[in-house]
Chain A
């Protein structure tokens, strides 16, 4: 950079990065952007044992930072980011994830979201197991963790852009004194969309050495980008020193290498003939989901569409740049972090720019695409890019637009209320226009930027929407928009979505094939066991710094002969080995479940502490359970009629359509109640969904302040 860059340092904290020991830096970083206080907090052996790292560290730090009345926009709310002890391992695919936790603006309870990119591992290699950022700055600031200079600063950079693709390019140039220093810089940012909506995502950067450009992965669920921008933070940045593959200083590097070599070879052997993640990334799912009636179409009314194959995995293999090592962290040869290079934007403030579109991921294709009735790949790419650079969650945005499209077609919205936008399913131009309005804080963008739950309230209050109808069709639970799978024919997945801590994101459980396709969970108890085991198993990835995809998106076929193929035992053993080899702590699968249960139950109690987290908050909208409209019933009449005969012993030929729909609704909602009872019991919770004192004590998290939260509720329940 030739021009003089203005940097006002508002606060500075000098430090020396400690040696990483067995995956831990053994300290966390606290930054208050309002007061300028910056300090190190020690990590105790008890903290490591009980909360492991990642989301566990996030939650514990956040728990101690807020009070019972803290809201998402309270100064004491924090953004907390941690990778975990195995984060930064380079020898095993998918070992560079970061977990971000905060109080969500849309759910108003704890949200956690994970992302790839280099921030978490480089933060740790720079001496910090986690960063917690508190306070609200007076003016826009950037927090810079500079391991090379040995200091942490809060700075004003008045020339820094806000939208991520501009900010990243600018900041990397400012901070890298030599070109190769960009390899070791990572940042977390949002964008102007996060300034004006509740759907803000965080972009986690990585420097792509082959493309010689900055790439981004998103931690998007629950609006963490909105919290970041509300704190007036443009970016959190780490500038690390060059590192080697033993930067975690693991206890047993040979064991890691042995397991890593096996897994790398497994990926190389089987991915080409299985999901082709290395060529297609997660979009390989689009065609499969449509074939199984699981791809959300037109606000989850339908599960498939003939045009879905225009945007399926085979298509994306022709569109995504091929032949590059697209891992979001080093050594991830699953390499799902693909991109479309040189995409020329057709709309908005950056029209005409040629950009890298990071993705699209399957979820994005479903959300801004099929559930809005949009099957135009270029429109999906444009929506994807702008959501990312504006700092908006593609899932929540697309899902909200799908909801508003149905409201438009149902007459709740009209041309006058949309400002002239004909918001019918399939209108990509309208979705793009609203997206730009979100970034500007204008027009219908203000409504869309609220997310579905708050948009529902607005439509009821101002546009006389039928409360029952919008409740039924708005695909949110707890205030979070659903991710992109149709769960109507899988009771277990209905629970997998709504019996969650943060809301309906499939990172807790994806049970549709086990339940609906393979019928491996026939009883309520079977489903409850799955809704115990899999959420705990998947939670563990987020404690350690792992990605879930290498667990089950490429699998040696020998797995089919194992005792429990759905659990993929030989991969579970890989994770046991890696964890033990990094930390020196020998574990087995029971320890893994216990590690997750501590964190999972703490998160449940945290939600209760914030005034929610009970049974009443665990109900799905009926659109996620059964047919809301006659159109939906008739689209699958043969299936629904057959179910009435087989499940309920009714004769659909003797019933009106309304009677048939009512019978389905009664049956489906009652069986969900049974599922809740079974799951709560399996998890050691009361019928109201409250963890018991005995459970919390058994898990080792019976701290007085934790017990005090549940005891109030337990007394009420008797």
Chain B
């Protein structure tokens, strides 16, 4: 199972990943449509994105969320009724919502941001190689 991983020490805050993600999946530059979010605190950067933990699958009432064979949590759009249960209950706050189409969205480890990152702060790795230290558990 391969997931997205982030190396904070390498991140320069260029936010290329955010723009690339929004452009890839929504064809817009609006970074509120990005499934990866970079934050900065005193010059130290952090990234938030899905680690494929699957908690959202438990709370989804329509079985729209599921693991694919590669262990990535995906959304079946035709089953999603936009209820935001997954958004509210994501332990890491990394399930997002697009109001205009009433659908949830999330990182599916597609790797487009990895290619775009100018400082090689992002990579696709096996799950056990991914550090979870950047993720802030909400509950």
Contact = CB atoms under 8 A, between A and B. Distances in A.
Interface of A: 90-91, 183, 209-210, 242-246, 253-254, 256-257, 260-261, 263-265, 267-269, 272, 323, 325, 327, 330-331, 333
A257 B105 CA distance: 13
Nearest to B83: A331
A330 B88 contact: no
B128 interface: no
A333 B85 contact: yes
A265 B61 contact: no
B85 A331 contact: yes
Nearest to B100: A253
A61 B49 CA distance: 51
9 contacts: A210-B63, A253-B102, A256-B99, A257-B84, A264-B84, A265-B88, A268-B139, A330-B81, A331-B83
B97 interface: yes
A526 B129 CA distance: 63
A268 B97 CA distance: 17
A254 B99 contact: yes
B60 interface: yes
A625 B139 CA distance: 45
Contact of A261 (B58, B87, B103, B138): B87
Nearest to B63: A209
A90 B82 contact: yes
B60 to A, nearest CB: 7
A244 B61 contact: no
A261 B97 contact: yes
Contacts of A272: 139
A94 to B, nearest CB: 12
Contacts of B58: 323, 325
Contacts of B97: 91, 257, 261
Contacts of A243: 81
A253 B98 CA distance: 9
Given A91-B83, A254-B99, A333-B88, 6 more contacts: A90-B82, A91-B84, A245-B103, A265-B138, A330-B81, A331-B81
Nearest to A261: B87
Given A209-B61, A269-B139, A325-B59, A333 B81 contact: no
B102 A333 contact: no
A323 B85 CA distance: 14
A210 B101 contact: no
Nearest to B59: A325
Contacts of B61: 209-210, 325, 327, 330-331
B78 interface: yes
Contact of B88 (A245, A254, A268, A327): A268
Contact of A325 (B85, B100, B138): B85
Contacts of B85: 264, 325, 327, 331, 333
B138 A269 contact: yes
Nearest to B64: A209
B102 A244 contact: yes
A60 to B, nearest CB: 30
A269 B97 CA distance: 19
Chain B contact residues, majority secondary structure: loop
Nearest to B87: A261
Contacts of A263: 88
Contacts of B60: 325
B62 interface: yes
B62 A264 contact: no
Interface in B46-75: 58-63
A331 B139 contact: no
Nearest to A265: B88
A90 B99 CA distance: 12
Interface in B81-136: 81-85, 87-89, 97, 99-103
Contacts of A269: 138-139
Most buried by B among A245, A261, A330: A245
Contacts of A90: 81-84, 102
A244 B97 CA distance: 13
Contact of A245 (B59, B102, B138): B102
A264 B89 contact: yes
Contacts of A333: 59, 85, 88-89
A264 B60 CA distance: 13
Contacts of A330: 61-62, 81, 83
B138 A331 contact: no
Most buried by A among B78, B99, B101, B139: B99
Contact of B83 (A183, A245, A254, A323): A245
Nearest to A263: B88
Most buried by A among B59, B85, B138: B85
Contacts of B138: 265, 268-269
Nearest to A90: B83
Given A269-B138, A269-B139, A261 B63 contact: no
Contacts of B62: 183, 209, 330
A90 B61 CA distance: 11
B103 A244 contact: yes
B38 interface: no
Contacts of B102: 90-91, 244-246, 253
B8 interface: no
A244 B99 contact: no
B98 to A, nearest CB: 8
A267 B80 contact: no
Contacts of A246: 82, 100-102
Nearest to A269: B139
Contacts of B78: 242
A264 B84 CA distance: 7
A333 B89 CA distance: 9
Contacts of A253: 99-100, 102
A183 B61 CA distance: 11
Contacts of A331: 61, 81-85
B28 to A, nearest CB: 15
A272 B89 CA distance: 12
Nearest to B97: A257
Interface in B13-30: none
A260 B80 CA distance: 16
B119 to A, nearest CB: 31
A264 B87 contact: yes
- Lowest 8 A-B CB distances belong to which pairs? A245-B82, A264-B88, A331-B83, A245-B102, A246-B102, A253-B99, A257-B99, A90-B83
Nearest to A206: B61
Nearest to A257: B99
A324 to B, nearest CB: 8
Nearest to B98: A257
Contacts of B103: 244-245
A14 B125 CA distance: 57
A456 to B, nearest CB: 45
Contacts of B139: 268-269, 272
Contacts of A256: 99
A349 to B, nearest CB: 32
A230 B138 CA distance: 53
Nearest to B88: A264
Contacts of B82: 90-91, 244-246, 331
B87 A244 contact: no
Contacts of B99: 253-254, 256-257
Most buried by A among B87, B89, B102: B102
Nearest to B77: A244
Most buried by A among B78, B82, B101: B82
B63 A245 contact: no
A48 to B, nearest CB: 23
Contacts of B83: 90-91, 245, 330-331
Nearest to B62: A209
A7 to B, nearest CB: 29
